[in-house]
Amino acid sequence: MRARFQTQVKPKASAPFLCMRLMCSRNKDEVEAVRNELLKAGIPSEIRPDPISEAMGVSAVELWVQEERNFFDASKLFARIQGRTAGKPIAPATNPQGDSSERHFNGSESSRAREPRRDELTHARSVLEKGIAEMFARETVLTGECASLRSKVQELTQRQAALESERSKWQQQLKSRDDSLKFAQEKLDSMSQQLQTQLGAAAALREQLASLEQQRDEQERSFCNARSEALAERKTRIAAEERAQRAALALEKQLVDQTELGREIQAHVASLDALFRRVDTKGAAVV
Protein backbone atom coordinates (compact mmCIF):
# COMPACT_ATOMS: atom_id res chain seq x y z
CA MET A 1 0.00 0.00 0.00
CA ARG A 2 1.20 3.49 -0.79
CA ALA A 3 0.68 5.86 2.12
CA ARG A 4 -0.69 9.37 1.88
CA PHE A 5 1.50 12.00 0.25
CA GLN A 6 0.86 15.67 0.95
CA THR A 7 0.48 16.99 -2.55
CA GLN A 8 -1.80 19.74 -3.73
CA VAL A 9 -3.15 20.09 -7.24
CA LYS A 10 -5.05 22.80 -8.98
CA PRO A 11 -8.73 22.41 -8.01
CA LYS A 12 -11.54 22.05 -10.45
CA ALA A 13 -13.46 25.14 -11.43
CA SER A 14 -16.46 24.00 -9.38
CA ALA A 15 -14.43 22.92 -6.30
CA PRO A 16 -14.46 25.50 -3.45
CA PHE A 17 -11.42 23.92 -1.69
CA LEU A 18 -8.08 22.39 -2.70
CA CYS A 19 -7.94 18.60 -3.12
CA MET A 20 -5.13 16.71 -1.40
CA ARG A 21 -3.89 13.18 -2.15
CA LEU A 22 -4.21 10.81 0.78
CA MET A 23 -2.87 7.49 -0.63
CA CYS A 24 -1.91 5.56 -3.75
CA SER A 25 -2.04 1.80 -4.24
CA ARG A 26 -2.09 -0.83 -6.96
CA ASN A 27 -4.91 -2.56 -5.07
CA LYS A 28 -8.10 -0.73 -6.02
CA ASP A 29 -10.19 -2.75 -3.54
CA GLU A 30 -8.00 -1.54 -0.71
CA VAL A 31 -8.42 2.09 -1.87
CA GLU A 32 -12.20 1.53 -2.06
CA ALA A 33 -12.19 0.21 1.52
CA VAL A 34 -10.39 3.32 2.76
CA ARG A 35 -12.78 5.53 0.77
CA ASN A 36 -15.78 3.79 2.39
CA GLU A 37 -14.31 4.43 5.85
CA LEU A 38 -13.88 8.09 4.96
CA LEU A 39 -17.49 8.30 3.76
CA LYS A 40 -18.65 6.79 7.07
CA ALA A 41 -16.73 9.56 8.84
CA GLY A 42 -18.41 12.21 6.65
CA ILE A 43 -15.25 13.03 4.66
CA PRO A 44 -15.87 13.31 0.89
CA SER A 45 -13.16 11.77 -1.32
CA GLU A 46 -12.65 10.50 -4.86
CA ILE A 47 -10.52 7.87 -6.63
CA ARG A 48 -8.25 8.89 -9.52
CA PRO A 49 -5.80 6.98 -11.69
CA ASP A 50 -2.09 7.49 -10.94
CA PRO A 51 -0.57 9.08 -14.08
CA ILE A 52 3.02 8.27 -13.05
CA SER A 53 2.32 4.57 -12.59
CA GLU A 54 0.43 4.47 -15.89
CA ALA A 55 3.37 6.09 -17.64
CA MET A 56 5.59 3.29 -16.26
CA GLY A 57 3.15 0.62 -17.40
CA VAL A 58 1.83 -0.17 -13.92
CA SER A 59 -1.82 0.17 -12.95
CA ALA A 60 -2.40 2.12 -9.71
CA VAL A 61 -5.05 4.42 -8.29
CA GLU A 62 -4.97 7.38 -5.92
CA LEU A 63 -7.39 8.48 -3.20
CA TRP A 64 -7.92 12.24 -2.97
CA VAL A 65 -9.61 14.17 -0.15
CA GLN A 66 -11.88 16.72 -1.83
CA GLU A 67 -11.60 19.46 0.82
CA GLU A 68 -8.31 20.52 2.37
CA ARG A 69 -9.92 21.28 5.72
CA ASN A 70 -10.76 17.55 6.13
CA PHE A 71 -7.28 16.27 5.27
CA PHE A 72 -6.00 16.19 8.86
CA ASP A 73 -8.95 14.08 10.08
CA ALA A 74 -8.63 11.84 7.02
CA SER A 75 -4.91 11.35 7.75
CA LYS A 76 -5.63 10.27 11.34
CA LEU A 77 -8.35 7.87 10.16
CA PHE A 78 -6.04 6.42 7.49
CA ALA A 79 -3.30 5.94 10.12
CA ARG A 80 -5.75 3.92 12.26
CA ILE A 81 -6.72 1.81 9.24
CA GLN A 82 -3.05 1.13 8.54
CA GLY A 83 -2.59 0.07 12.18
CA ARG A 84 -5.49 -2.39 11.92
CA THR A 85 -4.29 -3.87 8.63
CA ALA A 86 -0.62 -4.11 9.69
CA GLY A 87 0.68 -7.65 9.21
CA LYS A 88 -2.29 -8.80 7.08
CA PRO A 89 -1.62 -10.06 3.54
CA ILE A 90 -2.65 -7.65 0.82
CA ALA A 91 -4.86 -8.97 -1.94
CA PRO A 92 -3.36 -8.82 -5.42
CA ALA A 93 -4.38 -5.86 -7.50
CA THR A 94 -6.98 -6.38 -10.14
CA ASN A 95 -6.05 -4.79 -13.43
CA PRO A 96 -8.05 -6.20 -16.28
CA GLN A 97 -6.97 -3.39 -18.55
CA GLY A 98 -3.33 -4.11 -17.82
CA ASP A 99 -3.87 -7.83 -18.56
CA SER A 100 -5.63 -6.98 -21.79
CA SER A 101 -2.88 -4.60 -22.84
CA GLU A 102 -0.29 -7.16 -21.82
CA ARG A 103 -2.01 -9.85 -23.87
CA HIS A 104 -2.26 -7.48 -26.79
CA PHE A 105 1.38 -6.55 -26.36
CA ASN A 106 2.53 -10.17 -26.12
CA GLY A 107 0.41 -11.15 -29.10
CA SER A 108 1.79 -8.43 -31.28
CA GLU A 109 5.31 -9.08 -30.02
CA SER A 110 5.05 -12.77 -30.75
CA SER A 111 4.15 -11.89 -34.24
CA ARG A 112 7.15 -9.57 -34.63
CA ALA A 113 9.88 -10.69 -32.21
CA ARG A 114 11.52 -13.83 -30.96
CA GLU A 115 11.52 -15.53 -27.52
CA PRO A 116 14.74 -13.87 -26.14
CA ARG A 117 13.14 -10.48 -26.68
CA ARG A 118 10.19 -11.50 -24.47
CA ASP A 119 12.58 -12.65 -21.71
CA GLU A 120 14.42 -9.34 -21.85
CA LEU A 121 11.19 -7.38 -21.59
CA THR A 122 10.00 -9.57 -18.70
CA HIS A 123 13.26 -8.95 -16.84
CA ALA A 124 13.00 -5.21 -17.48
CA ARG A 125 9.42 -5.23 -16.23
CA SER A 126 10.53 -7.09 -13.09
CA VAL A 127 13.28 -4.54 -12.48
CA LEU A 128 10.80 -1.69 -13.07
CA GLU A 129 8.30 -3.18 -10.61
CA LYS A 130 11.09 -3.63 -8.06
CA GLY A 131 12.04 0.04 -8.52
CA ILE A 132 8.41 1.06 -8.13
CA ALA A 133 8.17 -1.00 -4.93
CA GLU A 134 11.30 0.71 -3.61
CA MET A 135 9.78 4.03 -4.61
CA PHE A 136 6.60 3.10 -2.71
CA ALA A 137 8.67 2.22 0.37
CA ARG A 138 10.55 5.49 0.10
CA GLU A 139 7.25 7.31 -0.32
CA THR A 140 5.98 5.66 2.89
CA VAL A 141 9.00 6.99 4.78
CA LEU A 142 8.53 10.41 3.25
CA THR A 143 4.84 10.27 4.09
CA GLY A 144 5.64 9.68 7.75
CA GLU A 145 8.09 12.54 7.70
CA CYS A 146 5.54 14.77 5.96
CA ALA A 147 2.89 13.84 8.54
CA SER A 148 5.32 14.73 11.33
CA LEU A 149 6.20 17.98 9.59
CA ARG A 150 2.52 18.74 9.03
CA SER A 151 1.83 18.15 12.73
CA LYS A 152 4.69 20.49 13.61
CA VAL A 153 3.43 23.03 11.08
CA GLN A 154 -0.04 22.86 12.61
CA GLU A 155 1.45 23.24 16.08
CA LEU A 156 3.53 26.19 14.89
CA THR A 157 0.44 27.63 13.20
CA GLN A 158 -1.51 27.35 16.45
CA ARG A 159 1.36 28.93 18.35
CA GLN A 160 1.58 31.67 15.74
CA ALA A 161 -2.16 32.25 16.02
CA ALA A 162 -1.80 32.43 19.81
CA LEU A 163 1.12 34.83 19.43
CA GLU A 164 -0.85 36.91 16.94
CA SER A 165 -3.79 37.00 19.36
CA GLU A 166 -1.47 37.96 22.20
CA ARG A 167 0.26 40.54 20.00
CA SER A 168 -3.13 41.98 19.04
CA LYS A 169 -4.07 42.08 22.71
CA TRP A 170 -0.81 43.81 23.58
CA GLN A 171 -1.32 46.25 20.73
CA GLN A 172 -4.79 47.05 22.03
CA GLN A 173 -3.37 47.51 25.52
CA LEU A 174 -0.57 49.72 24.18
CA LYS A 175 -3.11 51.73 22.17
CA SER A 176 -5.26 52.08 25.27
CA ARG A 177 -2.22 53.16 27.28
CA ASP A 178 -1.20 55.59 24.54
CA ASP A 179 -4.70 57.05 24.57
CA SER A 180 -4.59 57.28 28.36
CA LEU A 181 -1.16 58.90 28.20
CA LYS A 182 -2.37 61.33 25.55
CA PHE A 183 -5.41 62.18 27.65
CA ALA A 184 -3.19 62.60 30.74
CA GLN A 185 -0.81 64.84 28.74
CA GLU A 186 -3.72 66.99 27.55
CA LYS A 187 -5.03 67.16 31.11
CA LEU A 188 -1.54 68.09 32.33
CA ASP A 189 -1.29 70.86 29.72
CA SER A 190 -4.71 72.15 30.76
CA MET A 191 -3.70 72.05 34.42
CA SER A 192 -0.44 73.83 33.54
CA GLN A 193 -2.40 76.60 31.83
CA GLN A 194 -4.73 76.83 34.82
CA LEU A 195 -1.69 76.96 37.10
CA GLN A 196 -0.21 79.82 35.06
CA THR A 197 -3.53 81.67 35.31
CA GLN A 198 -3.69 81.01 39.04
CA LEU A 199 -0.08 82.16 39.45
CA GLY A 200 -0.98 85.43 37.69
CA ALA A 201 -4.01 85.81 39.93
CA ALA A 202 -1.86 85.02 42.99
CA ALA A 203 0.64 87.72 41.97
CA ALA A 204 -2.21 90.21 41.63
CA LEU A 205 -3.54 89.10 45.03
CA ARG A 206 -0.09 89.53 46.56
CA GLU A 207 0.09 93.08 45.22
CA GLN A 208 -3.42 93.76 46.53
CA LEU A 209 -2.46 92.23 49.86
CA ALA A 210 0.65 94.44 50.05
CA SER A 211 -1.53 97.49 49.34
CA LEU A 212 -4.01 96.38 52.00
CA GLU A 213 -1.20 95.82 54.49
CA GLN A 214 0.09 99.32 53.76
CA GLN A 215 -3.39 100.71 54.30
CA ARG A 216 -3.66 98.68 57.51
CA ASP A 217 -0.34 100.09 58.75
CA GLU A 218 -1.53 103.61 57.99
CA GLN A 219 -4.83 102.93 59.73
CA GLU A 220 -2.99 101.46 62.71
CA ARG A 221 -0.81 104.57 62.91
CA SER A 222 -3.90 106.76 62.67
CA PHE A 223 -5.60 104.64 65.31
CA CYS A 224 -2.57 104.91 67.59
CA ASN A 225 -2.53 108.70 67.17
CA ALA A 226 -6.26 108.89 67.79
CA ARG A 227 -5.88 106.64 70.82
CA SER A 228 -3.08 108.81 72.17
CA GLU A 229 -5.19 111.90 71.65
CA ALA A 230 -8.16 110.18 73.28
CA LEU A 231 -6.02 109.18 76.27
CA ALA A 232 -4.69 112.71 76.60
CA GLU A 233 -8.21 114.11 76.32
CA ARG A 234 -9.44 111.56 78.89
CA LYS A 235 -6.66 112.56 81.27
CA THR A 236 -7.53 116.22 80.74
CA ARG A 237 -11.21 115.47 81.30
CA ILE A 238 -10.48 113.46 84.45
CA ALA A 239 -8.30 116.29 85.76
CA ALA A 240 -11.05 118.82 84.97
CA GLU A 241 -13.61 116.60 86.66
CA GLU A 242 -11.37 116.27 89.69
CA ARG A 243 -10.93 120.07 89.81
CA ALA A 244 -14.68 120.58 89.39
CA GLN A 245 -15.32 118.06 92.15
CA ARG A 246 -12.88 119.78 94.45
CA ALA A 247 -14.47 123.16 93.59
CA ALA A 248 -17.92 121.72 94.25
CA LEU A 249 -16.75 120.36 97.59
CA ALA A 250 -15.22 123.72 98.48
CA LEU A 251 -18.39 125.51 97.40
CA GLU A 252 -20.50 123.08 99.37
CA LYS A 253 -18.32 123.69 102.42
CA GLN A 254 -18.65 127.40 101.95
CA LEU A 255 -22.41 126.99 101.73
CA VAL A 256 -22.40 124.94 104.91
CA ASP A 257 -20.25 127.55 106.62
CA GLN A 258 -22.51 130.34 105.40
CA THR A 259 -25.53 128.41 106.65
CA GLU A 260 -23.95 128.00 110.05
CA LEU A 261 -22.97 131.67 110.05
CA GLY A 262 -26.52 132.62 109.13
CA ARG A 263 -27.83 130.52 111.97
CA GLU A 264 -25.41 132.12 114.39
CA ILE A 265 -26.43 135.58 113.11
CA GLN A 266 -30.08 134.69 113.50
CA ALA A 267 -29.36 133.48 117.01
CA HIS A 268 -27.53 136.75 117.87
CA VAL A 269 -30.40 138.74 116.30
CA ALA A 270 -32.91 136.80 118.38
CA SER A 271 -30.88 137.37 121.54
CA LEU A 272 -30.56 141.08 120.71
CA ASP A 273 -34.29 141.27 120.16
CA ALA A 274 -34.90 139.66 123.53
CA LEU A 275 -32.44 142.00 125.14
CA PHE A 276 -34.06 145.02 123.53
CA ARG A 277 -37.45 143.83 124.74
CA ARG A 278 -36.19 143.49 128.27
CA VAL A 279 -34.60 146.88 128.12
CA ASP A 280 -37.80 148.38 126.85
CA THR A 281 -39.73 146.69 129.58
CA LYS A 282 -37.39 147.96 132.31
CA GLY A 283 -37.51 151.53 130.88
CA ALA A 284 -41.25 151.57 130.93
CA ALA A 285 -41.29 150.41 134.50
CA VAL A 286 -38.97 153.15 135.62
CA VAL A 287 -41.05 155.80 134.05
* Each residue's pLDDT expressed in tens, for the chain with a length of 287 residues: 444 333 333 434 344 456 788 888 888 888 899 899 999 989 999 998 877 767 666 677 888 988 878 888 888 888 888 877 765 544 443 343 344 344 444 444 444 444 566 666 676 667 776 777 677 667 767 766 776 787 788 888 888 889 988 888 899 998 888 888 989 999 999 998 999 999 999 999 999 999 999 999 998 888 888 888 888 888 898 988 888 888 888 888 888 888 888 888 888 888 888 888 878 777 666 55
Tell me what pLDDT residue 140 has: 66
Chain mean position to CA 249: 101
Tell whether 34 and 152 lie within a shared domain. no
Q: Is residue 3 part of a domain?
A: yes
Q: Is residue 43 part of a domain?
A: yes
List of residues 6+ apart from 128 with CB closer than 8 A: 56, 57, 58
Tell whether 108 and 220 lie within a shared domain. yes
Q: Is residue 150 part of a domain?
A: yes
Q: Is residue 79 part of a domain?
A: yes
Tell whether 66 and 122 lie within a shared domain. no
Tell whether 127 and 195 lie within a shared domain. yes
Tell whether 244 and 108 lie within a shared domain. yes
Q: Which of 88, 120, 154 is the last residue of a domain?
A: 88
Domain of 195, in residue numbers:
101-256
Q: Is residue 272 part of a domain?
A: no
Tell whether 77 and 191 lie within a shared domain. no
Tell whether 28 and 143 lie within a shared domain. no
Tell whether 229 and 123 lie within a shared domain. yes
Q: Which of 36, 64, 88 is the last residue of a domain?
A: 88
Tell whether 166 and 71 lie within a shared domain. no
Tell whether 172 and 70 lie within a shared domain. no
Tell whether 186 and 224 lie within a shared domain. yes
Tell me what pLDDT residue 2 has: 42
Tell whether 33 and 115 lie within a shared domain. no
| Structural domains of the chain, count | 2
Q: Is residue 66 part of a domain?
A: yes
Are residues 99 and 70 in contact, defined by beta-carbon separation less than 8 angstroms? no
List of residues 6+ apart from 259 with CB closer than 8 A: none
- Residue 25: phi, psi to the nearest 5? -155, 155
Q: Is residue 186 part of a domain?
A: yes
Are residues 57 and 125 in contact, defined by beta-carbon separation less than 8 angstroms? yes
pTM of the entire structure?
A: 0.33
Q: How far is CA 114 from CA 102, 103, 105, 226, in A?
A: 16, 16, 13, 159
